[in-house]
C-alpha cells in the first residue's frame, strides 16, 4: 500500500473513474512536493496533476478525487486539508500507524475550502 511505503511521511495521489458517478476505477500515485513538513502536510506535484488529468482525459475518465495518508494520526480531515479542498471531489484519508494502514475515511467539501461532510466509502 502506498501509505505504508511512504511512512512516516504523508503520501498522496489522485483517484480516477468514469464520468457521472463517484466510482474510482484507478488510483494514480503522485509526488508530495512538501519537504519540511512531510509528516503532516502534502501538496501534489503540479506536473503529476497535469499528467494524470491528461491520462484520464485520453481514457475518457474523470478525476474523482484525491487521497493522502496521515502518519500516526486519525483518518480525519485536518484544518489544512479542509481549507485546501475543492467542492465536488472526494477526499480519502488513510491513517497509517507504525507503517501499517489502520483506517480510512472519505469526505466531500460542500464548497471550496470546506466544510467537509463524510462520504460513504466502499472498497471492493
- What span, in angstroms and rounded, lies between the C-alpha atoms of 44 and 117? 22
Instruction: At 94, give phi and psi (nearest 5°).
Output: -115, 125
Q: Which residues pair with 63 in a beta bridge?
A: 16
| Residues contacting 112, CB < 8 A, separation 6+ | 85, 86, 87
Catalytic (active-site) positions: 10
Q: Which residues, 6+ apart, have CB-to-CB distance to 96 below 8 Å? A: 3, 4, 7, 69, 70, 71, 72, 102
Amino acid at each position: 500500500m502506498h501509505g505504508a511505503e511512504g511512512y512516516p511521511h504523508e503520501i498522496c495521489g489522485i483517484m480516477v473513474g468514469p464520468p457521472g458517478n463517484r466510482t474510482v476505477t484507478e488510483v494514480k500515485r503522485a509526488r508530495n512536493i512538501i519537504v519540511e513538513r512531510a509528516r503532516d502536510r502534502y501538496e501534489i506535484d503540479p506536473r503529476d496533476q497535469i499528467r494524470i488529468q491528461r491520462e484520464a482525459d485520453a481514457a475518457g475518465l474523470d478525476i474523482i478525487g484525491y487521497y493522502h495518508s496521515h502518519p500516526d494520526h486519525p483518518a480525519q480531515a485536518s484544518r489544512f486539508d479542509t481549507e485546501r479542498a475543492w467542492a465536488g471531489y472526494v477526499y480519502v484519508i488513510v491513517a497509517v500507524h507504525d507503517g501499517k494502514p489502520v483506517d480510512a475515511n472519505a469526505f466531500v467539501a460542500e464548497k471550496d475550502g470546506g466544510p467537509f461532510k463524510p462520504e460513504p466509502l466502499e472498497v471492493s
